[in-house]
Structures are given as C-alpha cells and as structure tokens.
Structure 1
Amino acid sequence: MDVTSRIPTPPGLAWTDTAVPPRPLERLVIKEIGRVLFVPVSEVDWLEAEDDYVQVHAGRSTYLLRQSLRVLETRLDPHHFVRIHRSTIVNVQRIHEMRPLFHGEYQVLLRDGTGLKLSRGYRDRARHLLDMA
C-alpha cells in the first residue's frame, strides 16, 4: 500500500495534477501578542521581505507577517500586485509615478511619497502590468 492511498481526499475535492490554484487572498491574518488582525489586501500599499517574515505596509501602519514573500506572492492577485524587486511587492493601484534610474532600473513612487526600487531583473514582469515603454 503506497502512502498516497492512505491520505484521505477532502469531500468534494479531487486531487489532480491540473488542480485549480486557490483564489487570491482577500485579507491577511496578522498575529500579534494578544490579538489577531485582519487586514484587507486592498488596503496594502507594499510588502517587503525581512528574513522569514514579510513587512506589510498599509497606510500609516506596518505589520509583521510570518510567511515568506515568495509564498505570499503566489496568493496575491497578479492584476493588483507585482514584484518589483527580490524583496518587494507593490500594489499597482498605489503607484503614482516611475522615474528611470541607471542600467534599466526605476524608482517607483507611491502616492504617499514612499520610494521603492524596480530592479532590472523584475522590469519585464512589471512592464506588462504597468504598460511601461
């Protein structure tokens, strides 16, 4: 008897190689000492990797989420969030302007004045979404 035959399949779910990915996240669950916060993804301005955590920047607040940026990226709606640097994902609705820097990099300015760097390694991903020339 192989291992997979002992793993029960949840009711109404069939495991296949072509499984449909889960729906994009609608909110982030932030666990802090003494409380659990629910932050709507639509309120997130940008996300920054910090070791095994992600700093969530939403308005004037910053939260720490115990999850890798790579995993979180797979759960965010790619029409609203784009990775612009190995350590940064931005909500495209918060982008105010972009300024060219050197060697194909850009400075991404958010509506609140925050400046982020779009590295050339992520430029092609962002070009399609942001209609960059």
Structure 2
Amino acid sequence: MSDSLDRIFIHPLTASQVLLAALTLTLASSLYCVIYTTLAGRGEPLVEGIIWAGLNIVPWLICFEIAKRLGSWPMQLGILVVFATGMSFLDTLISSSTIMFELTRRLPGAFIIAGMLALSWILKRFVSDRAVAKKLVSTNELPLLVDQIGWVVAAGNYVELHGSGPPILHRMSISAMESLLSAHDFIRVHRSVLVRRQTIKDLTGNILTLNNGQTFKVGNRYRWALQ
C-alpha cells in the first residue's frame, strides 16, 4: 500500500497535518467557488468562499479524523451523526432554514465520509491479512512446524530449535526468530532464549521451569512478560 493511502485512510493525521489539510482544502474550495461564480456571471468575494469552505468542507475533515481514532463502527457512525446534526443546526442559525432541510443538504457529505470510513476499514483488513500471510509464509520456511517447537536458543548467527527430537540448527538471529514466532505465543525469557508460553510450568525466583523439566534463567528485563 502506498504511503499516501496509509496516511489518509489508516493512520490518523497529526495536528499539524490536519491543519495543513484544512488550509489546503479551504484554499482550493475557495478558489473553486470564486472561479465558478465568476464564470457564471456573479463574482463572489474570496472571503465568502473561505467561509463556505469553513462551514462545508473542514468540519467533514475533522469528523473523518476523529472517526479514524475510534475503535468501532457504532462509535464512528455516532460521531458522523453528531457532526451532521451539529452542522445542520448551525446552518439554521445562519440561514434561518429548517433543520430537516439542512440535514437533507448534509446527506451527500455524510455518505462520502461513511464511504471513506468503510474504505479505511477494508484497507486495514487488507494490511492485516497481508501481514499475517507474510508471517505464515515465513514460518513455513522453518525446518520444523511451529507446533513442534518448544523453545529456541541462540547459537551465534544460528538458533537451535528444540522440540521432541534432537535440536535443529537454523540460520537466523534470535531477534528475527522472536519477531517470527511472537504471533504464535512465544515469549523471550532471556536474551538468548525463546519459549512457548503454553510449555511453562513454573517460575520460581529467576528460574523458569518447562513442563518437560527443562529450566532457564530468566533475564530481569524479560521477567515482566511472565507476570
């Protein structure tokens, strides 16, 4: 996925990025309004274009950014309704129109934001599925199935994979193996040791005991993960 799509649809913008986007949209919308009304024979001052953009474009940008930070569809739809209603109510104070008319006028913008949120959800799932698929492909390159590995010990530029049989030497750093196996519930208990969480039987002091009787000394920096 391109960085631009990632910034727009997945990760929330920073405050400075939101401000820059708001200024850019306001300027672009204002220029469009001025050019359109001029070509239509009824020139519109730039200030009116800025006010129009401030009331009709920027609030939707803020709504979308807030919605991206919320964790569920109900909350996202809720903030969408709040913004649409609030903007419509503000319009009634400015133009003395009815709330129903203004709500109807806001529907296209609300549908656009809802579509953008749906696209954001789809892209998040796509990125997540690709990451999982990549990790699964990587684990398939190991000489043992992940379920056959009980613990891993660093051995220079290699790691020893321990299971039910004799250990198998595999060329990979312990850090790379940790990244690979973290999704399969392996945790690091020492700078040179990874163990499967389900195989842990007991932790006494700094000594970790596995179900098969194998023991390891737990590093102080890794002890918190075992609490």
Deviation at 1:78, TM superposition (A): 4.2
| Structure 2, unaligned runs of 5 or more | 12-126
Distance 1:79 1:67 in 2: 17
Match of 2:122 in 1: none
Match of 1:75 in 2: 180
Match of 1:29 in 2: 142
Partner amino acid, structure 2, of 1:109: T
- Secondary structure at the aligned position of 2:142 is classed as strand
- Secondary structure at the aligned position of 1:83 is classed as strand
Distance 1:94 1:74 in 2: 19
- Residue by residue, what CA displacement relative to the aligned partner does 1:95-117 show, whole Å, maximum 9, x if unpaired? 111111xxxxx211111110111
Using CA pairs below 8 Å that are at least 6 residues apart, which structure has the higher relative contact order? Answer: 1
Q: Is 1:108 aligned with 2:217? A: no
- Residue by residue, what CA displacement relative to the aligned partner does 1:67-99 show, whole Å, maximum 9, x if unpaired? 111111111134611001000000011111111
- Distance change (3 Å), C-alpha of 1:28 and 1:90: farther
Percent sequence identity is 28
Deviation at 1:42, TM superposition (A): 1.4
Partner amino acid, structure 1, of 2:186: F
- Distance change (3 Å), C-alpha of 1:50 and 1:73: same
- Secondary structure at the aligned position of 2:187 is classed as strand
Match of 2:20 in 1: none
State the number of aligned residues: 101
Distance 2:142 2:158 in 1: 13
Match of 1:119 in 2: 219
Runs of 4+ in 1 over 3 A off after TM superposition: 15-21, 24-28
Higher gyration radius (CA): 2
Partner amino acid, structure 2, of 1:29: L
Partner amino acid, structure 2, of 1:64: L
Distance 1:15 1:113 in 2: 49
The Cα RMSD (Å) is: 2.2
TM-score, normalized by length of structure 1? 0.66
Give 1 or 2: higher strand fraction: 1
Deviation at 1:61, TM superposition (A): 2.3
